[in-house]
Amino acid sequence: MKFKHTLALSLVTATLALGTTASHAQTAPTGLKVEAPWARPTVQGQAAGGGFLRIVGGPAGDKLLGASTDIAARVELHTMSMDDNVMRMRQIDSIDVPAGKAVDLAPGGLHVMFMDLKTPLKTGSSFPLTLRFEKAGAVKVDVKVQPAPPAGTPAMKSEHKHDHKH
């Protein structure tokens, strides 16, 4: 079983290296994975836009420290929460990625924010984003601009979910 699993992973890596993947997933040498990066379209004059993706921690866990892209002056890490029935965004320094766990950056929760956009984000286009991790280093992904989340990713993330202990 163990051998099979390893083989499967190697095949995935090989496919990514050849650039033939259609899933927009990216795997770092540490085993950390970034899946389904997407961003909402923006209108002319809109200064900032939100980006979303799923990070799956490798065997050691990691921490997202920041990101950069050519299409915006800077990229910030944000969290969003309900405060007296008002959605508020707050900048955070880093996002923890526990070993083997998936962390969703999704509407309503954690996200990357493209600040001072140089060009509007148009549906159907895509742009490169470089994520910077503590252990995995730079991981480059291609962000697809689309109005709705890709299949299989959360449409809306509630931050409260994590805190509920039953």
What is the contact surface with Cu ion in residues (CB under 5 A)? Answer: 78, 89, 113
Task: Tell me how far apart the alpha carbons of residues 52 and 104 are, in angstroms, rounded to a whole number.
Answer: 8
Nearer to Cu ion, 31 or 37 (CB): 37
Phi, psi of 6 (to 5 degrees): -60, -40
> Smallest distance from the beta carbon of 111 to Cu ion, in angstroms?
6
Which residue has the closest beta carbon to Cu ion? Answer: 78
> Smallest distance from the beta carbon of 46 to Cu ion, in angstroms?
12
Phi, psi of 29 (to 5 degrees): -55, -25
Nearer to Cu ion, 25 or 110 (CB): 110
Report residue 41 CA to chain centroid gap. Answer: 16
Number of other CB atoms surrounding residue 101 within 10 Å: 11
Phi, psi of 146 (to 5 degrees): -155, 150
> Smallest distance from the beta carbon of 149 to Cu ion, in angstroms?
16
Task: Tell me how far apart the alpha carbons of residues 39 and 163 are, in angstroms, rounded to a whole number.
Answer: 27
> Smallest distance from the beta carbon of 89 to Cu ion, in angstroms?
4
Nearer to Cu ion, 114 or 127 (CB): 114
Nearer to Cu ion, 16 or 89 (CB): 89
